[in-house]
Structure 1
Amino acid sequence: MNEIIDEMKIFGSYAEKDVIFLLKDLSNIQLEGSIDNREKQIQSGQHYSESLPIEYFPPDNYMQLFRETLNGYKHKVALCTGIVSEQIFQNKGEDAVLVSLARAGTPVGILIKRYITARYQVDLPHYSVSIIRDKGLDENAILYILKQHPGKKIQFVDGWTGKGAISIELTKACHRFHKRYGIMLDDTLAVLADPGHCSGLYGTREDFLIPSACLNSTVSGLVSRTVLTNELIGPDDFHGAKYYEELKSADVSNEFLEIVTKEFPFIMNEASKEAGSKINLHEEATFKGMQEVLNIQAEFNIETTHYIKPGVGETTRVLLRRVPWRILMKDPESPYVRHILMLAKERNVEIIHYPNMSYTCCGLIKKVGKNQC
């Protein structure tokens, strides 16, 4: 395992001081398939972690939208980062080890690490590890972290919540870890946006557009989604991923970080106050959003909630990686859905005005081979 660690320190396009990926390098293995073929395989029983969507150079209009979004919401992203970071530091202090969930959690984990360094002059360790729905957390990675940082407290980090599938998976994984190793991990998931009420540790419950959701690997350190197959991942391996070095010229991962980081001096006082208020409230996760998902499932006669992806971040993923059926939209005039409108038009996806939900929008995946989802 130590050899893997040495390799992973240079994995991805982030600086080693920002994050260490605990992932097995699968860059030389062909795992990608077209969106349509991949969707058919997934709906026929193949687990989504056994293949990858094809990663393309982002078109110019995507890049323009990303930069406009980043310029418009850099302050809000910084503030939400600060609110979460203040809570983490007040709860765990210098004993915290940041463990972001690859890949959407990775840039958020880096921002939290940078904020705490700027605010408290404390350089927390930060790793990025894999968690996969229905398969769990990468236990080899967690064991490695605990060995490197005995007595420290792991803080899991992700970008946002949808209906809470990963939050639930994390809780189950932590219980399994306790049974196997006698070590109780804190399953609280720190996120910037928690519209589904899936965490008590968040920056906002507003379903706003986090700019990194607009793109795939080119805003996530050129790292793919994580992979777990018996053929490629042995019992002593970390979960796998690919590094798309060929997309280097389109990489804006560090640009995203730098622009948000520059906002930190302007939000620290407000972040500290907001964090204090949230700590005093002692809010628990209620998974309120799941009831809305169940209502949508019944109304549109959808076979499984796996085909329902609520929230602006998850809707973006549906349009970029899956075969979308329809998009439900609370307010088509919202500034948070401009990229959704653009992507839906490109893919000829119907948008339905759906004002009675707490999410900004919701993506519905098409049941492949049928006329309805």
Structure 2
Amino acid sequence: MRLVMQPDKMGSYSSEDVVFLLRDISNIKLELTNEKRERLIQSGTHYSEMLPVEYHPSDAYMALFYKTLDDYAQRIAIAVGIVAEQIVARQGLKHLVLVSLARAGTPIGILIKRYIKMRYNVGVPHYTISILRGRGIDETAIRYIFSEHPLAAIQFIDGWTGKGAITKELQQSCELFNANNVQQLDSTLAVLADPGHCTSIYGTREDFLIPSACLNSTVSGLVSRTVLNLQFMQEHDFHGAKYYKELEDVDVSNVYIDRVSACFKQVQHDVTQQISEQSQSPVTWQGLKSVQAIQQDLGITNIHFVKPGVGETTRVLLRRIPWKILINPKYMNELEHILLLAKEKNVPIEEYPNMSYACCGLIKEV
């Protein structure tokens, strides 16, 4: 019987909202410039072995974050309600455990937990765990959850889908876990926005801006991207992350959660109405088809250099070396933060109407 490891307490959220199942590696220097990281990633180093330098947003960008939060709080609250109601209908409440994928999933998982509390007066457990493309899910974290909740009906949660890489990674990880364990995982991912058409539990298929995609750790509980680097980490330990306490003065993680949660009561009617109207369209992986078309059109050698959707495009601008940004003109007035970041970083913008996304970030081959 393997001993159950205990995670480190970390993050700026209340433990009522979420428990991070991670190892705190704040004392290890892992940050590299985007240029260095890009070279290493493109020459075969796994992205989870190092960290980007945290982006310090300009005043103009933060002003835009607050404006966006005001503009979108209700729309996000509705999407959260729709996802939460689908989860409850599917899993029930008795053994439900919400498990967010770090780190974009964390604020969304907290919002879903708070919505369920408001609507059903039930406090469901909520954890955040790490999943890494090509390396799978943190099984130590999954074992910890089952040790705390032996009958857990785990519902995985993320912020949005891009081309579906994490959706597929989760499916493979769950199959592997299920083959080797008595407890069984359901790999269906619940997301706020599913522009990639990769999952059946979603708030919307519109590729719209989730303000928590605008920033890095300062809207995700001051926690870094997750790390798995066996040079200084134990093999069967939790995946690691840093807790950037030094950014407390610019942390808007709880501001974001409170602002959206405050809309829950007033959007209940919209949630009910939209659920009754939402015909469950099938998982078609339509987004991936768009990505393959872009790859072919622009002669891009590696599909991983194409990052579709608002969330992924923002990440390309914040922590990769962008080649250019494709914008669907239909969504131009919703992409102010993308345009601002591209301008700050001198990245060319090109109109590209023929995709199922609002925009797409293209990584430069270095």
1:301 corresponding residue in structure 2: 299
How far, CA to CA, are the matches of 2:40 and 2:236 in structure 1? 28
Matched-pair contact (CA < 8 Å) for 2:4–2:143: no
SS at match of 1:334: helix
How far, CA to CA, are the matches of 1:336 and 1:237 in structure 2? 42
* Alignment map for 1:306-325 (pairs within 5 Å): 306-325=304-323
* Alignment map for 1:248-327 (pairs within 5 Å): 248-278=248-278, 281-327=279-325
1:115-134: CA deviation from partner (whole Å, max 9, x where unpaired): 00000001000000000000
How far, CA to CA, are the matches of 1:153 and 1:333 in structure 2? 38
1:349 corresponding residue in structure 2: 347
Residue 147 of structure 1: CA displacement?
1.6
Letter in 1 for 2:254: N
Unaligned runs of 5+ in 2: none
TM-score by length of 1: 0.95
Letter in 1 for 2:62: M
1:38 corresponding residue in structure 2: 37
1:187-218: CA deviation from partner (whole Å, max 9, x where unpaired): 11100000010110000000000011111000
RMSD: 1.3
How far, CA to CA, are the matches of 2:249 and 2:310 in structure 1? 27
1:276-323: CA deviation from partner (whole Å, max 9, x where unpaired): 444xx4544221110110111111111111000000110000000000
Is residue 336 of structure 2 the alignment partner of residue 338 of structure 1?
Answer: yes
Residue 182 of structure 1: CA displacement?
3.8
Residue 269 of structure 1: CA displacement?
2.1
How far, CA to CA, are the matches of 2:332 and 2:296 in structure 1? 26
2:82 corresponding residue in structure 1: 83
Query: Which runs of at least 4 in structure 1 moved beyond 3 Å after TM superposition?
Result: 1-4, 281-284
Letter in 2 for 1:69: T
Matched-pair contact (CA < 8 Å) for 2:162–2:308: yes
* Alignment map for 1:1-373 (pairs within 5 Å): 4-5=6-7, 7-8=8-9, 11-94=10-93, 95-278=95-278, 281-331=279-329, 334-368=332-366
Residue 180 of structure 1: CA displacement?
1.7
Letter in 2 for 1:311: G
When residues 272 and 301 of structure 1 are mapped into structure 2, their CA distance, relative to the original with a 3 A threshold, is same
Letter in 1 for 2:357: Y
Letter in 1 for 2:29: Q
Matched-pair contact (CA < 8 Å) for 1:192–1:202: yes
Give me the identity figure in percent. Answer: 56
How far, CA to CA, are the matches of 1:332 and 1:207 in structure 2? 11
How far, CA to CA, are the matches of 1:28 and 1:56 in structure 2? 19
Matched-pair contact (CA < 8 Å) for 1:312–1:336: no
Residue 273 of structure 1: CA displacement?
3.2
Residue 358 of structure 1: CA displacement?
1.4
1:60-108: CA deviation from partner (whole Å, max 9, x where unpaired): 1111010000000000000000000011111112121000000000000
SS at match of 2:304: helix
1:126-156: CA deviation from partner (whole Å, max 9, x where unpaired): 0000000000000010011012111120000
Letter in 2 for 1:317: R
How far, CA to CA, are the matches of 1:339 and 1:57 in structure 2? 14
Matched-pair contact (CA < 8 Å) for 2:330–2:358: no
How far, CA to CA, are the matches of 1:335 and 1:266 in structure 2? 26
SS at match of 1:157: strand
